[in-house]
Amino acid sequence: MRPVLEVRELGFAYGNGVLFRGVSFALARGEALAVLGPSGSGKTTLLHLLAGLLPLQEGEVFWEGEAIRDLGEARLAPRRLRFLGLVFQHHFLFPELTALENVLAPGYLAGRVDKAWALSLLARLGLKERAHFLPQRLSGGRGNGWPWPGPST
């Protein structure tokens, strides 16, 4: 079966500092992979490359068999919306939307809004009673998510 996500010989450097080279793996549907490494080793950078949020340097990334290198942002963005979910290190919630509206936001863009499903996800996280709270009223929420954890107030 074709891998859902595949990476071949990925390498990346900020300026002259090579972070990693020769990273290759393939993930089948339902498989899980944990990337472990010390702070600064490049985990976030790797995820951003997999998501097409950073321009590729060495190597290739394939989404369901398709190389993303030459897609360009106009074609990449709608595919990313349907193909990929990314939990960012900093949460980047929309500060003016409630918890429920934040969960629903990608669905609005994709034309699939399922409020019951979104509420069930919040319930699984113990946030059912706070579905209509703004992020600033949720623990860890500081509006735009940056800086995090931010200055104590």
Residues making contact with ligand ATP (CB under 6 A): 14, 19, 37, 39-45, 89
Contacts of Mg ion in 82-101 (CB under 5 A): 89
Q: Give dist(CA 52, CA 71) in Å, integer.
A: 10
- As to burial, measured by CB atoms within 10 angstroms (0-12 exposed, 13-18 middle, 19+ buried), residue 101 is middle
Minimal distance, residue 19 CB to ligand ATP, in Å: 6
Q: Which is nearer to ligand ATP, 13 or 97 (CB)?
A: 13
Closest alpha carbon to 149 in 99, 90, 102: 90
Q: Which residue is nearest to Mg ion (CB)?
A: 44
Q: Which is nearer to ligand ATP, 30 or 40 (CB)?
A: 40
Q: For 4, phi and psi rounded to 5 degrees?
A: -70, -45
Minimal distance, residue 36 CB to Mg ion, in Å: 12
45 touches Mg ion by CB under 5 A: no
Across the beta sheet with 5-14, the strand order is 17-27, 5-14, 58-63, 66-67
Q: Which is nearer to ligand ATP, 42 or 135 (CB)?
A: 42
Minimal distance, residue 93 CB to ligand ATP, in Å: 19
102 and 125 Cβ atoms separated by less than 8 Å: no
Minimal distance, residue 116 CB to Mg ion, in Å: 33
Cβ count within 10 A of residue 50: 20
Residues that bind Mg ion (CB under 5 A): 43-44, 89
